[in-house]
Amino acid sequence: MTSNDRAIALAPAAVEELQAAIGAEHVCTSAADLDRCSRDTIPWDSRCAAVVYPGSAQEVSAALKIANAHKLKVWPFGGGRNWGYSGTLAPEDGAVVMLLHRMNRIVEVNDELAYAVIEPGVTYEQLNNHLKQHGHKLWADCTDGSSQGSVLGNALDRGIGETPYGDHFGNLCGMEVALPTGEIVRLGGGNNGPKTWHLHKWGIGPYLEGMFTQSNFGVVTQAGLWLMPEPEAYNSYVFEVKDERNMPHVIDAFRQLALAGIVTTKLHMINDFVSLTVLTQRIEQHRTGGGHLTPEEVAQLRSKYGVSPLTCAGGIYGTRAQVRLQRAILRKALGRYGRLLFISDTLLSVIEKVIAASWKSPLLKKVTETLAGTSLQILDSAPHVHRILQGIPTDFFVKHAYYRSRRRRPDNAIDPARDGCGLIWFAPILPFTSHDMLPFLARARQRFEEAGLDFWVAMLLMNPRSVTCLMNILYDRDDADETRRAEALYAVLLADMQAAGYQQYRAGLLAWGKVHAHAPELLRLNERIKAALDPENVVAPGRYGIG
Amino acid sequence: MTSNDRAIALAPAAVEELQAAIGAEHVCTSAADLDRCSRDTIPWDSRCAAVVYPGSAQEVSAALKIANAHKLKVWPFGGGRNWGYSGTLAPEDGAVVMLLHRMNRIVEVNDELAYAVIEPGVTYEQLNNHLKQHGHKLWADCTDGSSQGSVLGNALDRGIGETPYGDHFGNLCGMEVALPTGEIVRLGGGNNGPKTWHLHKWGIGPYLEGMFTQSNFGVVTQAGLWLMPEPEAYNSYVFEVKDERNMPHVIDAFRQLALAGIVTTKLHMINDFVSLTVLTQRIEQHRTGGGHLTPEEVAQLRSKYGVSPLTCAGGIYGTRAQVRLQRAILRKALGRYGRLLFISDTLLSVIEKVIAASWKSPLLKKVTETLAGTSLQILDSAPHVHRILQGIPTDFFVKHAYYRSRRRRPDNAIDPARDGCGLIWFAPILPFTSHDMLPFLARARQRFEEAGLDFWVAMLLMNPRSVTCLMNILYDRDDADETRRAEALYAVLLADMQAAGYQQYRAGLLAWGKVHAHAPELLRLNERIKAALDPENVVAPGRYGIG
């Protein structure tokens, strides 16, 4: 059965009403449109019935009212680049995918009070360009995913980024929401909002904004976002741990540094395989099938690329004196466990020149690599690390999604869903202690290897007390057996996690049925709210297990 | 009509069921019990019908089920010390006041991950004593109100405190709630909670905890609270601004320091009258009636007590080197605008010895006051400021509630509601800029003076972008005309605030009817949630204008 055979067409009257409400050109039902929105990198097969592009909160509201009248299932997405969770997929056929790309206004930027007001179609690249072009001394946090991701979309799925403003939902302040029945509500204030709508996060009365994250209780059409004032001084740092026996010390030292307010960024701690997937593809190793890399292959690749078993990256900000002092504190706490390199803007420009020259001269390359103790490829990532910790997005890291693809990855216009890559995110969140994390990671590695897949883990600081142990199941979608193993691995990781008493910080549709597995009371509460706000169950039924 | 005449008695069957559910001795209907819970410092008159003291979440649940069956109105309070908002008052007669004093277990304290799990009956004093007695190197934030206040009660009304952990709701993580219909739900997790229940604030799925703050959607029966790890070094600071023309510079400098992460405490900026109300009572000035203090009287009192027009207090924390550096940064930014004094633990113990000796020797008193440039009374407050910024509660400041009382304030067992004091909090939140704040404050001062009352304002940093301009309407409850003027002043301040586009960060029953005045859509949303969760409208109907 091809996807076209099983396409569920909307009632012509519904299509006509949608066309009248938001414009015929913004209601798409061609096979190409449906194809584009019916694929992600996860092993799932469902086909939408239409793709709609409302241009304003009023059009979102109108579309939702039509959905209620015709009992449509509307799946709203900011940018639709939530690859590896489930992108623009609905669990079942027949969804009306609502993409908010056209709602991409940057409504306000306030320098004095350091915030912006944006619509859900605004991308990381757009917001950052806007700030630079208009001379605002403000940084907007981004992720190390696609530069074309939706700033609000990510925040509403409670994604995390890089800088001290990296808790994306935590830095939203003041939301406008279209309820499933079509009413437009400004949470925390009236029609014009109080003047502190984007300044005081809790408003007055019940604080409701959290309800509209990781949920299907409404469509957020606008929100305030706190921005980071450009500091006087900034350094990024890279910390390479070559001896894995230091792992417990490193984790516990970082926890203490975070609790003490020294580490304020969403510190990233990645294993060797993460670095390798950014630098290379499996086809380059002439491995197109079979299991995970052998220890010998990993050792060779580590050596070839100068990759450490664990690499950590973060940033420090403040006055020049504060940055100097933080460097000294980090050196004292971490120096004995690995190699700590601080990069200032000045040093970065030197590094960039040396890298550029070294790529042109094999001799200089050798000298540079020897002096740096790593490969030019690894050095190449330093500018990206440095910029992303200032909120400047890059597509450099998301290229890892192509690791197991049989095709060469593109140099730009990265789109792993379009390009048939296989990738599933598994995102458990753990207490930030070595005694919680290490046994869990060891077990997970074993599960990956049992599935014949390579263990990819990036540990991202959620806050000083908890850490997301983000695992990426990279697989070859053109290999049916490997796809089956990837899917089974996800299921077993999920089961292990729940048995160990943990949960994901964020999940795609493969896990939604399990979100409330051990929380029937919470599910009933969510269902009561859902029924009150969305009696016809039109918005994203089943999202996070609700509706 | 005396209050007893108009008492609304509960149906005997309801009382019996409550007695059976939570124990006869915990269901109180004597006149003395009802009297105690039917008064606050605001000008309001309503009488409750019973006071119940459940001892567990299960007993809360049982009481709520009985309330549904008998259509009782249940008003839950943590500690009942929300003086000046509305304490334990319900808007109407006949409420069942539910006090959670018996639920005062400290369920867990975790040193490694710096949190506690507590019930709503736990007081600031109890939690702080517990941490000290058990050798935990953790600080729990408190307020400068009563040491007997409920830690959770304040957090659930979104009160703010002192230290970098002073956003009390912001530092709650993982709640257990009894819904109005009696179900007990652990938000963010299952029956045992995931192991990150008290570590990762957002859980998975919709983040619902905010719904249960400043609301009547349920009764919180337990919650996690993040605690501040004791830093290596700490200084409190007091900054006295003697020239009012520096006000705009001071406000804007503090905003920049807060945005840059230098000022991390809930900085308090108080006017001269706040200091005076802590130090003295109006009866001491032989002023028992009449209007506000004249400029001459204020000048005399300023001079007598060495009080500045504006006094700011905060704390700095970190390694010894970090504290030194922050002192230098603050000095550079603020030094030109006033007198900045840093107090370390060491200096504090010297100050305390000097103060104690000076109180005993008039000569030494004179020398100390000359050297310090202020009065011994003001110096007396330094140890309290220093300790409160470490989370150690004190009843020193709450004594201001007695300022306009005709009776001498007690030395301990402070209880302004019991003692018939007149006090109404008005708590607008403003953008943290001088151009927003100063015109608003000038207008408010004029309103106070028109009412014949003294202008009391404490500006408390909510976050780097917004500031609560907390005003206290202190009045003589034994003076009917003054009481009437106080009530009218509150109404006019509220109207001015709404006309200017601001809102309160928190409100008592005098304002609940106005909370949604300019937000009819938000009111409808809140009412839909209320109806879904509390179909019989049994929990605190009317709280924050809902139900």
pLDDT, one tens digit per residue, over B107-117 is: 999 999 999 99
Contacts of A429 in chain B (CB under 8 A): 196, 199-200
Contact A206 B187 (CB under 8 A): no
Token pair in block for residue B17: 């069921």
Minimum mean pLDDT among A274-288, B196-210, B442-456: which range? A274-288
Q: List own/partner pairs for B284-291 with CB under 8 A and 24 or more apart.
A: B288/B406, B288/B476, B289/B476, B289/B479, B289/B482, B290/B452, B291/B449, B291/B452, B291/B453
Pairing of strands B228-229, B138-139: antiparallel
pLDDT of residue A192: 67
* Cβ-nearest to B213 among A206, A522, A532: A206
Contacts of B328 in chain A (CB under 8 A): 321
Contact B521 A260 (CB under 8 A): no
Q: What is the pTM of this model?
A: 0.97
pLDDT of residue B287: 74
Q: How many residues does chain B have?
A: 547
pLDDT of residue A286: 75
Query: Average pLDDT of A30-59?
Result: 96
Q: Which amino acid is at B19?
A: Q
Query: Average pLDDT of B344-362?
Result: 94
Contacts of B265 in chain A (CB under 8 A): none
Contact B113 A465 (CB under 8 A): yes
The radius of gyration of chain B's CA atoms, rounded to the nearest angstrom, is 23
Distance from CA of A448 to the nearest CA of B (A): 23
The tens digit of pLDDT for each residue in A398-409 reads: 999 999 999 999
Q: What is the ipTM of this complex?
A: 0.97
Query: Average pLDDT of B484-500?
Result: 97
User: Quick one: which of B235, B275, B274 has its CA closest to B389?
Assistant: B235
How far apart, in whole angstroms, are the C-alpha atoms of residue B5 and residue A545?
Answer: 54
On whether the CB atoms of residues A317 and A234 are closer than 8 A, the answer is: yes
Contact B113 A433 (CB under 8 A): yes
The tens digit of pLDDT for each residue in B121-160 reads: 999 999 999 999 999 999 999 999 999 999 999 999 999 9
Contacts of B316 in chain A (CB under 8 A): none
On whether the CB atoms of residues B486 and B43 are closer than 8 A, the answer is: yes
Contacts of A544 in chain B (CB under 8 A): 204-206
Q: In the structure, what pLDDT confidence band is assigned to residue A7 with cuts at 50, 70 and 90?
A: low
pLDDT of residue A193: 75
Distances (CA, A) of A146 to A68, A120, A168, A461, A469: 33, 15, 15, 20, 20
Q: Which residues, 6 or more positions from A325, have their beta carbon under 8 angstroms from its beta carbon?
A: B321, B322, B325
The tens digit of pLDDT for each residue in B60-78 reads: 999 999 999 999 999 999 9
Residue B430 pLDDT greater than 90, yes or no: yes
Pinpoint the alpha helices (H) of A344-388. 345-360, 362-372, 376-388
State the DSSP H helix or E strand holding residue A402, giving kind and residue range, or none if neither: none
pLDDT of residue B285: 80
Contacts of B525 in chain A (CB under 8 A): 179, 183, 185, 208, 533
On whether the CB atoms of residues A256 and A374 are closer than 8 A, the answer is: no
User: Quick one: which of A252, A247, A311 has its CA closest to A279?
Assistant: A311
DSSP helix/strand/coil, B77: strand
Query: Average pLDDT of A219-241?
Result: 97
How far apart, in whole angstroms, are the C-alpha atoms of residue A27 and residue A126?
Answer: 25
How far apart, in whole angstroms, are the C-alpha atoms of residue A504 and residue A134?
Answer: 39
The string of DSSP codes covering A462-475 is: EETTEEEEEEEEEE
Q: Which residues, 6 or more positions from B259, have their beta carbon under 8 angstroms from its beta carbon?
A: A114, A229, B464, B465
On whether the CB atoms of residues B200 and A463 are closer than 8 A, the answer is: yes
How far apart, in whole angstroms, are the C-alpha atoms of residue B23 and residue B153?
Answer: 24
Contacts of A158 in chain B (CB under 8 A): 202, 207
Distance from CA of A525 to the nearest CA of B (A): 8
Distance from CA of B384 to the nearest CA of A (A): 24
* Cβ-nearest to A504 among B201, B204, B465: B204
Q: In the structure, what pLDDT confidence band is assigned to residue A288 with cuts at 50, 70 and 90?
A: low
The tens digit of pLDDT for each residue in B357-388 reads: 999 999 999 999 998 889 999 999 999 999 99
State the DSSP H helix or E strand holding residue A247, giving kind and residue range, or none if neither: helix A247-259
Residue A450 pLDDT greater than 50, yes or no: yes
Token pair in block for residue A92: 């079942």
Contact B205 A189 (CB under 8 A): no
Query: Average pLDDT of B483-499?
Result: 97
Pick among B175, B200, B222 to test the A interface (most A CBs inside 10 A)? B200
User: Quick one: which of A188, A184, A176, A123 has its CA closest to A154?
Assistant: A123
pLDDT of residue B191: 63
How far apart, in whole angstroms, are the C-alpha atoms of residue B78 and residue B218?
Answer: 13
Residue A357's CB: how many other CB atoms inside 10 A? 12
Q: In the structure, what pLDDT confidence band is assigned to residue B316 with cuts at 50, 70 and 90?
A: very high
Q: In the structure, what pLDDT confidence band is assigned to residue B322 with cuts at 50, 70 and 90?
A: very high
Distances (CA, A) of A212 to A174, A184, A533: 12, 13, 11
pLDDT of residue A1: 36
Pinpoint the alpha helices (H) of B422-538. 434-450, 480-499, 509-512, 520-533
Let me know the angle formed at the C-alpha of B310 by B306 and B311, rounded to the nearest 5 degrees.
Answer: 75
Q: In the structure, what pLDDT confidence band is assigned to residue A290 with cuts at 50, 70 and 90?
A: confident
Q: In the structure, what pLDDT confidence band is assigned to residue A412 with cuts at 50, 70 and 90?
A: confident
Contact B202 A524 (CB under 8 A): no
Contact A205 B214 (CB under 8 A): yes
* Cβ-nearest to B199 among A264, A318, A431: A431
Start-to-end CA distance of chain B, whole Å, equals 29
pLDDT of residue A2: 43
Q: Number of C-alpha atoms within 13 angstroms, CB side, residue A442?
A: 9
Let me know the angle formed at the C-alpha of B151 by B146 and B152, rounded to the nearest 5 degrees.
Answer: 135
Distance from CA of B155 to the nearest CA of A (A): 12
Contacts of B184 in chain A (CB under 8 A): 521
Distances (CA, A) of A436 to A345, A431, A467, A502: 37, 6, 10, 10
Q: In the structure, what pLDDT confidence band is assigned to residue B19 with cuts at 50, 70 and 90?
A: very high
Pinpoint the alpha helices (H) of B280-394. 295-305, 320-334, 345-360, 362-372, 376-388
pLDDT of residue A3: 46
pLDDT of residue B362: 94
Distance from CA of A376 to the nearest CA of B (A): 36
How far apart, in whole angstroms, are the C-alpha atoms of residue A354 and residue A362?
Answer: 12
Query: Average pLDDT of B322-334?
Result: 98
Query: Average pLDDT of B234-256?
Result: 97
pLDDT of residue A285: 80
How far apart, in whole angstroms, are the C-alpha atoms of residue A225 and residue A214?
Answer: 18
Residue B5 pLDDT greater than 70, yes or no: no
Residue A163 pLDDT greater than 80, yes or no: yes
